[in-house]
């Protein structure tokens, strides 16, 4: 199953663009136009990453993040804003937000923020507070390498089985220290 990103953005064109980009990068995009819709969606499917616009109609992005945390959704969060706001940035840090991007942002900035969110330990909400349990990138790495082994090392078949592009697979394998042999395979 592809990792999922809940995209909470009230601007339809930006929400659609982000969703399209995320799908191209191998993520399942879950669109929501408001904090209330995000809360409803998380009742049936908990995303791996939250991407929240700070200024939403009704419940703000940070209020939505707080409400999701109270429901036990411990996904890494990234906040988007049209302007820099020190108080909001400080509140975002308190909520465990891993990145605070100012619009308009470059896709490279979003990609770096997603990579940071993916490397962040998943947090379990327990009676004693917030306790790190498992790193999402470790789970992904084990899964990808397992599928690669099942496919006899065939990277094209592995990418197809995972539902990602070969380029995305090459990128992930390079992160795992298997990139040199992958680059040799790609050039032959």
What is the DSSP secondary-structure string of 105-143?
--HHHHHHHHHHHHHSEEEEEETTEEEEEEEHHHHHHHH
Q: pLDDT band for position 139 (50/70/90)? A: low
Selection from 41, 21, 25 nearest residue 8 by Cα: 41
What's the mean pLDDT when you consider all of the chain?
A: 80
Q: Greater confidence, 87 or 48?
A: 48
What pLDDT score was predicted for residue 136? 54
Helix pair 107-119, 12-24: axis angle to 10 deg: 60
Task: State the Cα–Cα distance between residues 113 and 63, nearest whole angstrom.
Answer: 20
Residues 6+ apart with CB under 8 A from 37: 8
Cα end-to-end span (Å), the chain:
30
What pLDDT score was predicted for residue 134? 44
Q: Which two tokens stand for residue 75?
A: 């996904």
Q: Greater confidence, 28 or 72?
A: 28
Helix pair 155-162, 166-175: axis angle to 10 deg: 100
pLDDT digits (tens, 9 = 90+) for 45-69: 889 999 999 999 999 999 999 999 8
C-alpha separations of 126 from 23, 76, 141 in Å: 32, 16, 26
What pLDDT score was predicted for residue 81? 85
Query: Ranked by mean pLDDT, which of 4-8, 41-45, 102-106, 171-175 comes out on top?
Result: 4-8
What is the enclosing helix (H) or strand (E) of 68?
helix 61-70
Domains identified in the chain and CATH numbers: 4-119 (3.40.50.2300), 136-187 (1.10.10.60)
Task: State the Cα–Cα distance between residues 173 and 120, nearest whole angstrom.
Answer: 19
* Mean pLDDT, residues 149-160 taken together: 87
What pLDDT score was predicted for residue 185? 44
State percent of the chain over pLDDT 90.
33
pLDDT digits (tens, 9 = 90+) for 113-138: 888 887 765 544 444 444 444 455 66
């Amino acid at each position: 199953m592809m990792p999922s990103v809940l995209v909470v953005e009230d601007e339809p064109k930006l929400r659609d663009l982000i969703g399209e980009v995320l799908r191209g990068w191998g993520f399942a995009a879950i669109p929501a136009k408001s904090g209330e819709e995000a809360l409803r969606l998380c009742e049936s499917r908990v995303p791996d990453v939250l991407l929240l616009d700070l200024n939403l109609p009704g419940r703000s992005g940070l209020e939505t993040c707080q409400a999701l945390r109270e429901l036990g959704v411990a996904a890494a969060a990234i906040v988007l804003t049209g302007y820099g706001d020190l108080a909001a940035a400080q509140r975002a840090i308190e909520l465990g937000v891993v990145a605070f991007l100012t619009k308009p942002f470059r896709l490279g900035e979003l990609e770096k923020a997603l990579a940071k969110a993916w490397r962040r330990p998943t947090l379990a909400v327990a009676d004693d507070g917030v306790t790190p349990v498992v790193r999402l990138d470790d789970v992904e790495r084990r899964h990808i390498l397992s599928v690669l082994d099942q496919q006899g090392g065939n990277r094209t078949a592995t990418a197809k089985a995972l539902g990602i592009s070969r380029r995305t697979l090459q990128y992930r394998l390079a992160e795992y220290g298997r990139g040199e042999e992958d680059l040799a395979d790609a050039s032959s």
